[in-house]
Amino acid sequence: MKRYIIILLLLVIPFVGFSQKDFKLVEQSSKNKPNWIYANQMDTYMIQANMAASIEEAQDMVMTSLLDRIASSVAVVVASESTKETDWTVVNDKDSYVENIKASTTLKVAKMPALQGISLSKAEVYWERYMNKKTKESYYDYYILYPFSQFELQDLINTYNAQEKAYNDKIESYKNSLAEKNSVDQILTDINDMKTLMKEFDEADSKYGNIKNIISLYEKTISNIYIDVLENENGKLVIQLKYDEKVMETKSLPKLKSECARDFSKKHNGDKIELTFNTFDCYEQDDNYVEIRFDFGKKRIVEKVNIKL
User: What pLDDT, on a 0 to 100 scale, did the predictor assign at position 87?
Assistant: 43
pLDDT above 80: residue 101: no
- Residue range 196-223: mean pLDDT, rounded: 92
Q: Which pLDDT score, from 0 to 100, does residue 13 have?
A: 40
Q: Given this model, what pLDDT does residue 92 score?
A: 46
Domain positions in the chain: 19-148, 169-223, 226-306
pLDDT grade for 20, boundaries at 50, 70 and 90: low
* Banded model confidence at residue 62, pLDDT cuts 50, 70, 90: very high
Q: What pLDDT is attached to residue 308?
A: 84
Q: What is the pLDDT of residue 98?
A: 54
Q: Per-residue DSSP letters for 67-132?
A: HHHHHHHHHHHHHHHHHHT--GGG-S-HHHHHHHHHHHHHHHHHT-GGGGG--GGGSEEEEEEEEE
**Confidence (pLDDT) at 156:** 87
Indicate the average pLDDT of the chain.
85
Q: Which segment of 100-109, 194-203, 249-258 scores lowest on mean pLDDT? A: 100-109
Whether the per-residue pLDDT at 8 is higher than 60: the answer is no
Per-residue confidence (pLDDT) for residue 5, from 0 to 100? 38
- Among the ranges given (52-66, 168-182, 198-212, 226-240), the one the predictor scored with the smallest mean pLDDT: 198-212
- State pLDDT tens for residues 113-156: 777 788 899 999 999 999 998 999 999 999 999 999 999 889 88
- pLDDT over threshold 80, residue 72: yes
Rounded distance between C-alpha atoms, residue 262 and residue 73, angstroms: 70
Say if residues 269 and 227 touch (Cβ distance below 8 Å): no
Which pLDDT score is estimated for 68? 87
**H helices of the chain, where?**
2-21, 55-84, 94-110, 150-177, 184-198, 206-223
Fold of 226-306: Immunoglobulin-like (2.60.40)
Q: In 10 A of CB 258, how many CB atoms?
A: 19
Instruction: Compute the average pLDDT of residues 161-168.
Output: 90
* DSSP annotation of 178: G
Across the range 37-55, mean pLDDT stands at 92
> pLDDT tier at 206 (50, 70, 90 boundaries)?
confident
